[in-house]
Amino acid sequence: MNKIGNQFTSIQQVTEQFLGKAGSTGSKETAKVSFEDILKQKQEVSAPDTLKFSKHAAMRLEDRKINLSKDQSERLEAGVLKASEKGIQESLVMVDSLAFIVNVPNKTVVTAMDQGETDQNVFTNIDGAVIV
């Protein structure tokens, strides 16, 4: 049998050496977690379908005393979904008198403002708008 790097005769020995698993039977018993299981765990933790708020947007919500109701949150998420379906990358989503700039591919609210705080109702750096 050829030695790997003149030190190991198999991948199992490399695994035992670097992952600290002793003996071939022990490593088989501890390696029962599949890649699919780990992937599912990571996907559940990150929850890619949920809308996130950037640090800047969270600060704006707090500074401007904007509290979203459950209905408004659901409508905001629905607006982001509509923007995604249309291929919009950076969207203005209007919910009642609230304006949100959203990075659609990342599902991240970049900034938020009340309609009274918008500067002349001009929004830049967007490629679409959704009013819900």
Q: What is the pTM of this model?
A: 0.62
Structure token pair of residue 105: 């591919």
How do residues 15-68 score in pLDDT, each as one tens digit?
A: 776 676 554 444 444 557 777 777 667 656 555 568 999 999 999 999 988 899
CA distance 62 to 59: 5
- Mind listing the domains of the chain with CATH numbers? 11-46 (no CATH), 52-131 (3.30.2310)
